[in-house]
Chains A and B, each alone.
Chain A
Amino acid sequence: MFASGHRHQPWVWQVSALCFILGLLVAGSLQTVTTIRRSGMSSGRVGFGVAPSPHLTMTLRQREREISDLREKQTTLETVLAEGSGKLETLNTELQKVKLLSGLTEVHGPGIMLMLQDGKPRSNRAFEAERLTIHDYDLQLVANELTASGAEAISINGQRLTSRTPIRCVGPTIMVNNIPVVPPFEILAIGDPGTLAGGLNLPAGYLDELRSIDPSMFRLEKRKDVLVSAFAGSTEVRWAKPVAASAPSKGRSGDR
């Protein structure tokens, strides 16, 4: 039944050729799994890795500093201009208040500092990595909680939160004001320190949940004086136009 002496039979060559292909496939599979493991371990976030180039980051920082300087100068000039008459001074006081509220000026006052960072995995299971990672929605939650507790100014890693600040996840990084921020996240908020800390520490609230996952993921400090930097992004307004106080009422039917 069995053929003997198959030394130079053609099938050996073909089997060898398939062996070669099989070797390629095996190596490919192994490499692929290694790649997946490596990428899965480094972070639980999905998306392609986009590391901000150091050069771009430096340019960005420079531009931000420039913008801050220019805005500060503007404030000084406005004040100088206003010094001439009482009316202008009142106007300027109002203007500076509006600028403070919109986050265009650096402010300080009592508040809290919340440091958030990724937890250390105790096992390499993916779902754990997911829980141990600080996500964009974590920052959104904290920002919302702080606002609800009466925070008057909030910044995340030096990025001031304004009414036009998005907090979102792009690839492995979180963008605040469209600027990438990386852990550890230092969240500064100005307001009544007790109320702010209390809001975060609500039973079954955000910090309660973190505490149950890994208490080393956060550090909360009440501070007598917190310095929150100014918003340094674009203030261009393209679509919204103010409705003049004396506008005819027929155009404002949405009021009633």
Chain B
Amino acid sequence: MTGTLPVLALALGIVLGWVVFGRLSVPGELAGLYAPYLSLATLAGLDSLLGGIRAGIEGRFQDDIFISGFVLNTLLAAALAYLGDRIGVDLFLAAVVALGGRVFLNLSLIRRYYLTKIAIARKKEGV
């Protein structure tokens, strides 16, 4: 199935990440410094992932857009967070809002696609 491989990869990533980050035993104060960046990267990853799936099912997936989108979004979000840290404005909220909004948009489009597919299949059965 199409969905199996990404889910497996996600599970593998979580397990591996949990073990590796658990082994690192970073002091809490240091962890507090990079925690916002890590969560932003997570959000950027989620955004790119859903964007990629959406483009894939729409049949206009382009790998260069996909990869550059992930890398650049992550870097921009991190840069914004850093700048915000320097000038005392929570600029990373801008990244969170923008990326979060796109996550919901892409998710809704993916949902629509599958719902339409199911509806079409039901219609065929009915006929």
Q: Which residues of A does B touch, CB under 8 Å?
A: 1-3, 6-7, 9-33, 35-36, 38-40, 46-49
Inside 8 A of A26's CB, which chain B residues have their CB? Answer: 13-14, 17, 42
Tell whether, in the assembled complex, residue A24 and residue B2 are in contact, meaning their CB atoms are under 8 Å apart: no
- Tell me which of B14, B28, B56, B113 contacts A11 (CB under 8 A): B56
For the complex formed, measure the closest distance between the CB of A30 and the CB atoms of chain B, giving whole angstroms: 7
| Residue in chain B with minimal CB distance to A42 | B28
Contact with A along B50-79 (1 / 0, CB 8 A): 001101111101010011001000000000
- Tell me which of A9, A10, A20, A46 contacts B13 (CB under 8 A): A20
Given contacts A11-B56, A12-B6, contact A21 B29 (CB under 8 A): no
Q: Size class of B's contact patch? A: 35 or more
Whether B97 sits at the interface, judged by CB under 8 Å, is no
Inside 8 A of B6's CB, which chain A residues have their CB? Answer: 12, 15-16, 19
Given contacts A14-B63, A38-B28, contact A19 B49 (CB under 8 A): yes
Instruction: Give bound CA distance, A17 to B52, whole Å.
Output: 11
Inside 8 A of A33's CB, which chain B residues have their CB? Answer: 35
Tell whether, in the assembled complex, residue B35 and residue A32 are in contact, meaning their CB atoms are under 8 Å apart: yes
For the complex formed, measure the closest distance between the CB of A189 and the CB atoms of chain B, giving whole angstroms: 35
| Residue in chain B with minimal CB distance to A5 | B2
| Residue in chain B with minimal CB distance to A49 | B27
Instruction: Give bound CA distance, A14 to B65, whole Å.
Output: 12
For the complex formed, measure the closest distance between the CB of B110 and the CB atoms of chain A, giving whole angstroms: 11
Q: Is the interface of B mostly helix, strand, loop or mixed?
A: helix
| Residue in chain B with minimal CB distance to A35 | B31
For chain B, residues 17 to 60, give those with C-beta under 8 angstroms from any C-beta of chain A.
17-18, 20-22, 24-29, 31-32, 34-35, 38-39, 41-42, 45-46, 48-49, 52-53, 55-59
For the complex formed, measure the closest distance between the CB of B81 and the CB atoms of chain A, giving whole angstroms: 14
Tell whether, in the assembled complex, residue A19 and residue B21 are in contact, meaning their CB atoms are under 8 Å apart: no
For the complex formed, measure the closest distance between the CB of A48 and the CB atoms of chain B, giving whole angstroms: 6
Instruction: Give bound CA distance, A31 to B13, whole Å.
Output: 13
Q: Is the interface of A mostly helix, strand, loop or mixed?
A: helix
Tell whether, in the assembled complex, residue B5 and residue A16 are in contact, meaning their CB atoms are under 8 Å apart: yes
- Tell me which of B9, B34, B46, B117 contacts A32 (CB under 8 A): B34
Tell whether, in the assembled complex, residue B67 and residue A25 are in contact, meaning their CB atoms are under 8 Å apart: no
- 18 pairs, A vs B, C-beta closer than 8 Å: A2-B116, A7-B2, A11-B56, A11-B61, A12-B5, A12-B6, A14-B61, A14-B63, A17-B9, A19-B6, A23-B12, A24-B17, A26-B13, A27-B14, A29-B39, A32-B26, A35-B25, A36-B28
For the complex formed, measure the closest distance between the CB of A87 and the CB atoms of chain B, giving whole angstroms: 61
Instruction: Give bound CA distance, A30 to B28, whole Å.
Output: 13
Inside 8 A of A24's CB, which chain B residues have their CB? Answer: 13-14, 16-17, 20
Given contacts A3-B59, A32-B26, A48-B29, contact A18 B49 (CB under 8 A): yes
Tell whether, in the assembled complex, residue A3 and residue B58 are in contact, meaning their CB atoms are under 8 Å apart: yes
